[in-house]
Amino acid sequence: MHVDQLDAAQVAQALAEAESDYQALLAQGLSLDLTRGKPSAEQTNLSNDLDGILKGHYAAQDGTDVRNYGGLDGLPEAKALFAQALQVPADEMLIAGNASLTLMYQVIDFALRFGFRKAWNKGASTPKFLCPVPGYDRHFAICEYLGIEMVTLPMLDDGPDMDVAEALVQELDNVCGIWCVPRFSNPTGCVYSEATLARLAELPKLAQNDFIVMYDNAYAVHALTDDAPALGNIRDYAVAAGTENHIVQFGSTSKITFAGAGVAFLSTSKANLAVLKHHLGFQTIGPDKVNQLRHVAFFQNHEGLMAHMTRHASIMKPRFNAVLTTLDAKLGGTGMGTWISPEGGYFVSFETRPGLAKTVIRLASDAGIKLTPAGATFPYGNDPQDSNIRIAPSFPSIADVQATMDAFVLCVRLATLRSLASSGTFGS
């Protein structure tokens, strides 16, 4: 029954049950962790053949000895392979080291300091960035660290609220860019619609500044099912809009092969690539080309990579199912929270009733269940509604995901009922 339909006595009874269940949960002394979106050992096992795959052959297709210095933008065959994941031409790719986060940091740092065409920080006011919320904490941390003011806008089911984005870009001074995770967004799981992409590609034209769309396509090939929604091609929209110098797309194999020992890449216009390579040349002689060659040898081609992702999906799907069936069974129709069923990516985004996220996370923590800190999905760690909780089911075993979710829904139930009981406002 929906909690808004419960009368005082029903709330009291349901609360008593929840308190009792919670005492039993505490008594279990669990120690579980659902915090970070990292692959399980079962997933990384899929790529164990990477080490040793070269069998002594260290030459790239063009004869380059990958063991030696050189090549700031990576191997041509790695460009060709990963360009297909991002739906861009191979000559608009740069293949780097093990972290796309590093590439994102570098792009914003370069743009702030020198600019692709002119530096951002020459404006009168603090540079600003649009941040669809909820979003990814490490994106927000880069902005905060580099002194960029974050302006939030709502995330809808088909991407950022573009009406708000367009208004903010025109109304505010010195808006420099927007963060996007366009497919299986972190954490809501939404996929940007064609209409959103088209408007995103036009957005730089509305800005006073040298606006950059930071297009973190982290989950480009990370569908859970064969019929998960595809993502449109932002590069085509940008070329049509004449804004290809204002889009920088990112990706990596962190959640394809090894998290932390994979290959990161970006794609942008050739003009931007030339600027980036100039800047990168002061801080590196080049990326680890041996690891790039390993990845090419391992996947062979895009079809090999997609077949590999199907194997990931078969490991991930039961974990997502454990989350979603538990939420449906225990909280469906109760009004105690809302969530969407993502068809890819690494997260389920859960919304408590307003003001309860911190309480739920504390209750879970007291019961030995570690959840992502409240507010982590918002700039400055501040969720104004105190309602968003990011659930990351990839790493634990299926049994642990199930145990954690059983505890989680109980914590949601207890927090909601305690709140209702103390507020004294009941339905019917």
Q: Which listed residue (116, 258, 350, 378) binds a copy of itself by CB under 8 A?
A: 258
Using N-to-C axis directions, what is the helix angle for 137-145 and 100-113, rounded to 10°? 30
- Compare residues 81 and 259 and give the one whose CB is closer to a copy of itself: 259
Rounded least distance, CB 258 to a copy of itself, Å: 4
Three-state secondary structure readout of the chain:
CCHHHCCHHHHHHHHHHHHHHHHHHHHHCCCEECCCCCCCHHHHHCCHHHCCCCCCCCECCCCCECCCCCCCCCCHHHHHHHHHHHCCCHHHEEECCCCHHHHHHHHHHHHHHCCCCCCHHHCCCCCEEEEEECCCHHHHHHHHHCCCEEEEEEEECCEECHHHHHHHHHHCCCEEEEEECCCCCCCCCCCCCHHHHHHHHHHHHHCCCCCEEEEECCCCCCECCCCCCCCCCHHHHHHHHCCHHHEEEEEECCCCCCCCCCCEEEECCHHHHHHHHHHHCCCCCCCCHHHHHHHHHHHCCHHHHHHHHHHHHHHHHHHHHHHHHHHHHHHCCCCCEEECCCCECCCEEEEECCCCHHHHHHHHHHCCEECCCCCCCCHHHCCCCCCEEEECCCCCCHHHHHHHHHHHHHHHHHHHHHHHHHHCCCCC
Question: Can you read off the two tokens belonging to residue 104?
Answer: 């994102």
Rounded least distance, CB 395 to a copy of itself, Å: 8
Contact between 276 and a copy of itself by CB under 8 A: the answer reads no
Rounded least distance, CB 143 to a copy of itself, Å: 10
Rounded least distance, CB 34 to a copy of itself, Å: 15
Stretch touching a copy of itself by CB under 8 A, among 22-30, 102-110, 329-337, 396-404: 102-110
Stretch touching a copy of itself by CB under 8 A, among 49-57, 129-137, 158-166, 217-225: 49-57
Contact between 41 and a copy of itself by CB under 8 A: the answer reads yes
- Compare residues 39 and 159 and give the one whose CB is closer to a copy of itself: 39
- Compare residues 20 and 284 and give the one whose CB is closer to a copy of itself: 284
Site for a copy of itself in 51-70 (CB under 8 A): 51-56, 58, 65-70
Contact between 39 and a copy of itself by CB under 8 A: the answer reads yes
- Compare residues 132 and 262 and give the one whose CB is closer to a copy of itself: 262
Contact between 38 and a copy of itself by CB under 8 A: the answer reads yes
Q: Which listed residue (28, 31, 48, 314) binds a copy of itself by CB under 8 A?
A: 48
Contact between 89 and a copy of itself by CB under 8 A: the answer reads no
Contact between 107 and a copy of itself by CB under 8 A: the answer reads no
Nearest to 56 by CA among 297, 359, 231: 297
Contact between 118 and a copy of itself by CB under 8 A: the answer reads no
Q: Residue 25 class from Cβ within 10 Å (0-12 exposed, 13-18 middle, 19+ buried)?
A: buried
Rounded least distance, CB 129 to a copy of itself, Å: 15
Q: Which listed residue (132, 177, 182, 287) binds a copy of itself by CB under 8 A?
A: 287
Which position has the token pair 């009733």? 353
Q: Residue 344 class from Cβ within 10 Å (0-12 exposed, 13-18 middle, 19+ buried)?
A: buried
Site string for a copy of itself, 125-164 (x = CB under 8 A): -------------x--xx--x-------------------
Q: What is d(CA 148, CA 33) in angstroms, rounded to the nearest whole number? A: 32
149, 152, 153, 154: CA torsion to nearest 10: 160
- Compare residues 274 and 285 and give the one whose CB is closer to a copy of itself: 285
Rounded least distance, CB 272 to a copy of itself, Å: 19
Rounded least distance, CB 182 to a copy of itself, Å: 21
Question: Can you read off the two tokens belonging to residue 312?
Answer: 């990931």
Q: Which listed residue (260, 304, 318, 355) binds a copy of itself by CB under 8 A?
A: 260
DSSP bridge partners of 331: none
Rounded least distance, CB 33 to a copy of itself, Å: 13
Contact between 372 and a copy of itself by CB under 8 A: the answer reads no
Rounded least distance, CB 288 to a copy of itself, Å: 5
Contact between 380 and a copy of itself by CB under 8 A: the answer reads no
Rounded least distance, CB 141 to a copy of itself, Å: 6
Q: Which listed residue (10, 106, 321, 385) binds a copy of itself by CB under 8 A?
A: 106
- Compare residues 16 and 285 and give the one whose CB is closer to a copy of itself: 285
Please give the residue ranges that form the binding site for a copy of itself (CB under 8 A). 36, 38-39, 41, 44, 47-48, 51-56, 58, 65-70, 97-99, 101-102, 105-106, 138, 141-142, 145, 254, 258-261, 282-291, 294
